[in-house]
Every structure is written in C-alpha cells, then in structure tokens.
Amino acid sequence: MVSALGMTAVLGGCGLTGDSGEVTLKLVAADYGDSKANSSQDYWDDLAKAYEAKHPDVHVDVTVYSWNDVDRKVREMVEAEEAPDMAQIGAYADYADQGLLYQAGELLSIPVQANYVSQLAGAGQVDGAQYGLPFAASTRVLFYNKTLFDKAGLTPPKSWDDLAEAAQELEAEGVKYPYALPLGPEEAPAETMQWMLSGGGGYTDDVGTYSVDSPQNVTTFTWLKEELVEKGLTGPVAPGQLDRAAAFAAFANGDVGMLNGHPTLMKMASDKGVKYGMVTTPGIDGASKNTLGVTDWMTAFKENGHQEEIGDFLDFVYNDENVLDFSRRYNLLPVTTSASQAMSTAEEDKDLRPFLNELVLSELYPVGKTSWASVSADVKKRIGQAVAPGGSTEEVLDRIQTTAMRAGSAE
C-alpha cells in the first residue's frame, strides 16, 4: 500500500516572464481519501494556504488525482515538457535516471534531510544519491477476525503451519475466505513480497541482484499452492483474480478469517463492526523476521528551475505538525524520525503502533532500480499462476526472473 499536486505555472518570477518576483509552484499529488469528503485536495489546499501566508511571493497550485491516474498524468506532463515542480507519486527512478530530478541535498535543509527514517531514505536513492523523498509509509501485519477465531476456538497463528491449521478450522466452520490471498493485478507485488519475506526470500538478494526464482521463493509459493490453494482454503475467487480492495471489502463484511493488511483496513473493519486482531505476519518457523514496507514519493523536477522555492516549501511540508496531520488523516506512518517518535508515544495513535513497530524491520520494493516497473508489471500478470492448480510454480517464478534480468541488464 499517494498524492499529486499540479505543475508550476510560472507567474512572472525568477526572471522568466516579468519582474514581479512572484513564483507559482505546481504540485501534483495522489489522493489518499476514499471519498470527496476526505480528499487529499483539502489537506494540500490548507497546507498551501498556510505556507503562502508566510511567503506572499510564492503561490502553490495543487492538483490531486486518484491513484489510478496520478502516475500516468505526471508521465504525460513530463513527456509534453510541462513537468510540475513537484509530484507526489508512486515511483521516481525513471525520472532520476533521465536526469530530470533535483537531489534531496539540492533542496532540503540538512536537519530535514537527516530526519527521514533511514530505510525509507535509503530506498529513495539511485547510485548513492537520494532523488525520491519519502512521503507516506505503511507496513503489513496479519489481520484476523476475532469473532470467527473465537467461534472456532483458535488463537492467532505464529507460523505457516499455524496459519494452515487455522484456515482448515475456519473452512470447517463455513468461513467464505479462511485466508484471503489477493494475488490479482491491483496489488500482487505487495502480497507476493510479504510472503517471500516470510519465507526468508525476497525480490532481490543481499547484494541487490534479482532473485525471484530463489529456492526460498520456490518453497514459499509451492507451500501456498499445496497447503492453502489446492485445499480450498483461500476462498471462492482464484488468488490470481482476487484484488486487494475486494479482499479488504470481504474482511470488512465478516467473510474473511485472515489476511495481510495495512492500516487502512482498521477503519474499514471498524466501520462495519468487525472485531479484529493484528499480529506479526507468520513465517516459515515462527513470526516473520521481516515485513513489507511501502512508501510513496515526493519528487522535484528541474524543468522550471524553482530550486530554492521548492526546497523551502518542502522543508515546510516535512515539519512534524504537517507530517503527523497527514499520517493521522489517512492512517499512514510518518516518514520522519521525529514524527515517528511522537506517534509512538501519543495515545491517539495507539492503533497504529503495531505498524510503526514493524517499520524498523521492513524491507521495501527495489524502487531504486529503473527495471522495477517492468518486474512489478510482470508480477501482476503472472504470479497468480504460481499457485494455480495444475500450474508450475517454478516455471512461473523463472519467467518473472527472466523479465527481471532482461530489464535489469539495461540499467
């Protein structure tokens, strides 16, 4: 489990079209809200107004798009040579590789740059230089339906074997989705990586080389196929056809015993009256030692030349008050160390602490690789076949690995 604020309309500043000294920064952001009432547009409009009150010569023009559209919109703007000053989007490496982005050190004050959570800052780097500025983060834990577990006399699972046994008991009780396994196109890379990590694998090895077809990953997906899918414990929809949104909705309707989830699911379940618990994702021999971390990115484009103004605005964006406000509005994790520390002790944030605790153990997608977009797309296309009855797990992982190596060779 971002935001987009439009482009920089230059209103006669910086010697471009006049002498007024005024600059308009265009920011394109992704929408984290699930309705018009909590759209991210409101957050950014309030933030821009507060900044402009202290900086009357700088205007911030914000455009927010849905997550389905924002990356495409920014790409089209860049291709038309109308890049925004800033874009809060899902990926940055392609733009960095093309030399289109400012580095963090060219924009931010030293205290702000040094305040990012270390794993997130590291994931924003290409060849040792940081181009992706973490904006919002989340991790994954295992959610379980307390009512269904109590009815079946179950305790939360700690290992894969525990999870399989619980799924069997839930299936015997008539639960529709004993374990929901969303490997459909919407968010297949996340569920895939969560399971890879729980089996001691991942998309890459310790030196950053793609290892999709590693023995650990083959073992993980073979287990999923044989112990859950083929035994009918993943519900009526084939995992390769089940999207994350549908799985979350089914959990909120009381039809799912267990699934991996991020903080958004808490509110969805509570709003529907579902009593849930959360535990560390089960691993092959006990609780998983690693979990998936996901972050969205703020990027700053060079095209309009507003380096100083962008940097000053982003310093404002990343102060604790604003970081915490955004995180609390959308049940996301802060990307700065100081805001994380504040959240870890605040009573109002106690529901987010399980996710906050997982952040220090998290591993992120290999987003610093320009090849990741191709690999992610191939995972979305193929990974469901790795657990499909009658298919070859090893062959599917081999094909994704081939895609990864071909895409990676061009980097």
* Average pLDDT for 152-174: 98
> Measuring CA to CA, which residue among 272, 241, 243 is closest to residue 255?
272
pLDDT tens for each residue of 108-121: 999 999 999 988 99
| Domain 23-138+293-364: CATH class, spelled out | alpha beta
| Mean per-residue pLDDT over the chain, rounded | 91
% of the chain beyond a pLDDT of 90: 80
Q: Is the pLDDT of residue 152 over 60?
A: yes
Q: Is the pLDDT of residue 6 over 80?
A: no
- Choice between 49 and 35, residue whose per-residue pLDDT is larger: 49
- Choice between 128 and 318, residue whose per-residue pLDDT is larger: 318
Q: Is the pLDDT of residue 10 over 50?
A: no
Q: Measured between alpha carbons, how far is 386 from 260 in angstroms, rounded to an integer?
A: 19
> Measuring CA to CA, which residue among 200, 382, 389 is closest to residue 288?
200
* Average pLDDT for 166-189: 95
pLDDT tens for each residue of 249-278: 999 999 999 999 999 899 899 999 999 999
What CATH fold (topology level) applies to the domain 141-280+373-409? D-Maltodextrin-Binding Protein; domain 2 (3.40.190)
Q: Where do the domains of the chain lie?
A: 23-138+293-364, 141-280+373-409
Q: Is the pLDDT of residue 12 over 60?
A: no
| Sheet-wide strand order for 141-145 | 177-179, 256-261, 141-145, 276-279
pLDDT at 221: 98
Check if 23-138+293-364 and 141-280+373-409 are the same fold.
yes
